[in-house]
Amino acid sequence: MTRSYLIALQVLVAVAAIAAWHVLTTVPIFGVTVLPPFFFSTPHDVAARIVKWFAEGSIWKHLWITLLEAMLAFLIGSVAGVLVGFWFARKPLVAAVFDPYVKIVNALPRVVLAPIFVLWLGLGIWSKVALGVTLVFFIVFFNVYQGVKEVSLTVLSNARMLGMNERQLMRHVYWPSALSWMFSSLHTSVGFAVVGAVVGEYLGSAAGLGYLIQQAEGVFDVAGVFAGMVVLAAFVIVIDLVVTLIENRLLIWRPVAAETRG
């Protein structure tokens, strides 16, 4: 199967779905509109809304806020995850002591923390960043921990026989191994950074894509909700493409592309 054929089929699915949506919301069948536009809007209205947002330029501010929150959450969560992951992997006692607590916090649905973060950090971006951090941190932490612990014993012995000291082992063996595990979960952790930002905005904020959708819902503006979802989907796809590009650069030494997608 060629690539263009595949893309043609993929586009066909979208066109069919939109066409069905259009027909069911605008063309009465035996005098009944199957999907009332009040609840389901119409493709035309949604498209018009998106065009309006971009034409007025009001959307950019929301996109930027969500992007900023997600990036900060990803950066802070990753740095913290790498540091703690390394620390735990190199200090088995620390890992053993904290093990049950890590499991407890990780098992906790992070959404319940959102109101607490709002209480602590206010309605601005930082409460959303904090929510994203709690999501990103654990993914990166577990991967780095695993990466450091699962360095091939032979590679490690080889490095030591070549004369590496502890610091050089860190730099040339543990660090690349940990990073490769972290990068292999890049899609998941970036995805969760966005989830943290949007969910945080949805639960209480003054800007961002989550806020946009929440506002529209508040006034039963279904076209606004759908338009927000479409913009969010496009936003996520663009980010995912960027991550794929970065990943291909960073994991060039790997025989197969990363497999640990969430």
Partner 1 sequence: MSVMPHPTTTPSVGKTDVEPQAAAVTLKGVGITFQLKGRAAFEAVRDVSLSVTDGEFVAIVGPTGCGKSTLLNVAAGLLTPSAGSVAVFGAPLAGLNRFAGYLFQADALFPWKTARDNVAIALEIAGTPTAEAHARADEWLARVGLAGFGPRYPHMLSGGQRKRVGLAQVLIRDPKILLMDEPFGPLDAQTRQIMGNLLLDLWSTDRKAVMFVTHDLEEAIALSDRVVIMSAGPAAHIIGEWRVPLARPRDISEVRLDRAFHDLHREIWEALKGEVLKGYAQTGG
The site for partner 1 (CB under 8 A) is made up of 152, 154-155, 157-165, 168, 172-173, 176-177, 180, 252-255
The span from the CA of 36 to the CA of 175, in Å, is: 57
Minimum CB separation of residue 182 from partner 1 in Å reads: 13
CB–CB of 139/185 below 8 Å?
yes
Nearest residue (CB) to partner 1, 74 versus 181: 181
Q: Distance of CA 141 to CAs 3, 68, 236, Å?
A: 37, 22, 23
Instruction: Quickly tell me which residue has 């802070």 as its tokens.
Output: 76
Nearest residue (CB) to partner 1, 90 versus 254: 254
Give alpha helix (H) positions in the chain.
3-26, 37-40, 43-56, 58-90, 92-107, 114-121, 125-149, 153-161, 166-169, 175-184, 186-203, 209-218, 222-250
**Residue 147, amino acid:** G
Nearest residue (CB) to partner 1, 112 versus 161: 161
Nearest residue (CB) to partner 1, 156 versus 199: 156
Minimum CB separation of residue 172 from partner 1 in Å reads: 6
- Residue 83 DSSP SS3: helix
CB–CB of 144/182 below 8 Å?
yes
Strand pairing partners for 32?
Answer: 29
Nearest residue (CB) to partner 1, 156 versus 229: 156
Instruction: Quickly tell me which residue has 């390394």 as its tokens.
Output: 86
Nearest residue (CB) to partner 1, 3 versus 167: 167
State the burial class of residue 218 (Cβ atoms within 10 Å of its Cβ: 0-12, 13-18, 19+).
Answer: exposed
Minimum CB separation of residue 133 from partner 1 in Å reads: 28
Minimum CB separation of residue 240 from partner 1 in Å reads: 24
Minimum CB separation of residue 143 from partner 1 in Å reads: 15
Strand pairing partners for 29?
Answer: 32
Nearest residue (CB) to partner 1, 138 versus 183: 183
Minimum CB separation of residue 92 from partner 1 in Å reads: 16
The span from the CA of 109 to the CA of 89, in Å, is: 25
Minimum CB separation of residue 13 from partner 1 in Å reads: 36
